[in-house]
Amino acid sequence: MRIVAEHLTHIYNEGSPFEARALDDVTLTIEEGEFFGILGHTGSGKSTFVQHLNGLIRLPSSLKRAKKRKPKEGLPAPVLRVGDFDLADKKTDFRALRKKVGIVFQYPEQQLFAETVKDDVAFGLKSFADRKHPPEEGEIETAVREALGAVGLRYEEVASQSPFDLSGGQKRRVAIAGVLVTKPEVLILDEPAAGLDPLGKNEIADLLHRLHGDWCKTVIIVSHDMDEIAENCTMSAVFAEGKVKYVLPPRELFKHAEELSAIGLDIPLVAKLCRALSARGVEIGCDFTADGFVKAVLAMRGRA
């Protein structure tokens, strides 16, 4: 599903002394199949943006009159389409949309609630199901088994356990399975590796790669870890102060070290190494991944 957003603006606590403009005329397209990275500081608007994508935050035009916010004057009407869903239209079936666009929030293990891992993972499946035709037990088991398998957990080992007895990294994977269980086409993850130890971080990175290959067509990660973006993403967008500053593939984006540093963002380690080498007269052409860098250096050495 292709995601097209035009002129999105969102203001929290509008009209109060605590008014805060989180999104300011944001226009951004995310093509199907990307591993898309959204980066920026806390408060740059990136989380607000992704919450629009599955209708957790609605456009004014899609709200019932009672809750309607005033549309901004002087700006063209906001547009937001995810695949065939028109999110500006109040007739859109937002539950059907949420089934297709899964969001894994920060610290997702904090949303676990059921008595067993199986019940927790099955929650999404049951709640999205047609009320008149609830899924059968066998169907649920298969789906849960597949979702747990996708995050690298064995159904036999964990399904009947309490989710609260698992380790931190396992809890997080169960929570991700709980979103995967409905087979979303777009998977959005907000800081998927936050708070994990280095090993847990590596596991999550591997997991996301597997998911992008054979589970979800489009993966979007929200992150402020530049290395995470450089290593994983095919495309990236930089948010700052509610606006989109850059939309570039990471290998292009991280050439703009000065501009990024002006908005307080860092560059990945490999980009720093390349700059340090460039200052010594050695130009390494690489995509800013660790593997790419090592290959490029070894190739240069081979040529020399």
262 binds another protein (CB under 8 A): no
Cβ distance 88 to 80 under 8 Å? Answer: yes
By CB under 8 A, how many residues form the interface with another protein? 70
Cβ distance 236 to 247 under 8 Å? Answer: yes
135 binds another protein (CB under 8 A): no
Nearer to another protein, 76 or 134 (CB): 134
| Options 41-49, 63-71, 77-85, 213-221: segment touching another protein (CB under 8 A) | 41-49
| Options 82-90, 126-134, 150-158, 236-244: segment touching another protein (CB under 8 A) | 126-134
Distance between CA atoms of residues 163 and 160, nearest Å: 9
Cβ distance 23 to 240 under 8 Å? Answer: no
| Options 60-68, 153-161, 177-185, 204-212: segment touching another protein (CB under 8 A) | 177-185
194 binds another protein (CB under 8 A): yes
Residues of this chain, 204-243, that bind another protein according to CB under 8 A: 224-225, 227
Q: Which two tokens stand for residue 224?
A: 């402020």
- Of these, 103, 159, 166, 233, which contacts another protein (CB under 8 A)? 103
Closest separation in Å from C-beta 37 to another protein: 15
123 binds another protein (CB under 8 A): yes
DSSP state of 76: P
Nearer to another protein, 170 or 208 (CB): 170
- Of these, 3, 216, 270, 286, which contacts another protein (CB under 8 A)? 270
Closest separation in Å from C-beta 54 to another protein: 6
What backbone phi and psi angles, to 5 degrees, belong to 194? Answer: -55, 135
Cβ distance 201 to 172 under 8 Å? Answer: no
Q: Which residues contact 104 (CB under 8 A, 6 or more apart)?
A: 175, 176, 179, 187, 188, 189, 190, 192
24 binds another protein (CB under 8 A): no
41 binds another protein (CB under 8 A): yes
Choose among 8, 30, 12, 85: nearest CA to 221. Answer: 30
Nearer to another protein, 79 or 290 (CB): 290
257 binds another protein (CB under 8 A): no
Cβ distance 85 to 59 under 8 Å? Answer: no
In terms of Cβ atoms closer than 10 Å to its own Cβ (0-12, 13-18, 19+), residue 117 is buried
- Of these, 95, 154, 210, 217, which contacts another protein (CB under 8 A)? 95
